[in-house]
Amino acid sequence: MIKNLDGTNENEKTKVIAISIVRSKLGHIIREYLDSRGFVEVYLPSIVPFATDPVIGSDKELFKTNYKGKELYLAQSPQIFKQMVVLLTSMKIFSLQPQWRAEETPSKRHSLEYLSLDVELPIGPEESELKLMRLLEDLVVHSARELVTECKEEMRIIGSDIVPISKPFPSLSYDQAIELLNRNDVKVEWGEDLGYERELELGKILKERNVFCYFITHWPSLVKKFYAKVDRKDNRYTQTFDFDICGWEICSGAERETDIQILQTRFKEKNLTEFDYKPYLDLFQKKPVLPHGGFGLGFDRLLAKLLGFDDVKETLLFPILRNLADSKNKRWLS
């Protein structure tokens, strides 16, 4: 990119500038939307003493460092901290900041460093994850419409047409999703995560039915993280959702578990050490615990899909994977 920006490739230079403008505009649109609805933007730790989004039986996604003999990590998400802020203040909050995952199997939707939109808020005792889904739905539709209005020239330069997005987004349960995949010869056992390839296949199946944006709800507790609320009617499931666009998971959300005994059980199931999370768990000892929930949205993934790209790295100025000399960066640096 550095070389292309000196004017030696005007078409590529112009496209890079256009993508950067659209990226900047999307950030402004999201911030203004949430601000107008009473959310407060917060800035949460990027260097943390424990895994903020631990993967079952593995720490391979973690970026580790050693500081004065203590093991620290780059944050995978602000999950623990954003819940703590809501529990302590009752505010509606969001953060839009970088996060890091040492992906074992990078794909076209992955980047080691990515921009994450995280939203967390109190939800009433009679409400559920449906409130979060409606908020996300409104945010995505609003953002897409505003980009079309405000970035017409940039869209023309990029050569993009925004994916058709309109409310309401259809929903299918996890069980319905795996049934649909199995009927189309894509094998999934109950309790497995779908993963990148099977999500792509599901996206293709639904696209044939003119469904581009959709929710997948009621994921098994085997798949979801310890902080997702367990369904009180059937504890095999959680009160969770994913939001996908054309086969890419863009966002995951859930009502949060507030029962300390269930949380402690989930910690054991996930082989996590309670001591590492003591300040977080202490907040669930008091009664009653504020019902709350939220979601984490991949900003780069959303932008890529809104622009019709099939690789998230097309949205990034410096799409670093393993090193600066990887094939993607050679396009800019060679």
Kindly report the pTM of this predicted structure.
Answer: 0.91
| Mean pLDDT computed over 18-45 | 97
> What one-letter code names the amino acid at 61?
E
How confident is the prediction for the chain on average, in pLDDT?
A: 89
**Fold for domain 4-333?**
BirA Bifunctional Protein; domain 2 (3.30.930)
Please give the helix or strand (H or E) that residue 47 lies within, else none.
strand 47-48
Task: Give me the sheet containing 213-217, strands edge to edge.
Answer: 40-41, 93-100, 113-122, 292-298, 248-255, 240-245, 213-217, 171-173
Residue in 121, 119, 101 with CA at minimum distance from that of residue 110: 101
Sign of CA dihedral 228, 233, 234, 235: positive
**How would residue 221 be classed by pLDDT, with cut points 50, 70 and 90?**
very high
Task: Tell me if 50 sits within 8 A of 274, measured CB to CB.
Answer: no
Q: What is the pLDDT of residue 124?
A: 84
**How would residue 8 be classed by pLDDT, with cut points 50, 70 and 90?**
very low
Cis before 78 (ω within 30): no
Q: What is the pLDDT of residue 321?
A: 53
Q: What is the pLDDT of residue 260?
A: 96
Condensed to tens digits (0 to 9), the pLDDT of residues 109-163 reads 888 889 999 999 999 877 888 999 999 999 999 999 999 899 999 999 998 777 7
Residue 92 has pLDDT above 70, yes or no: yes
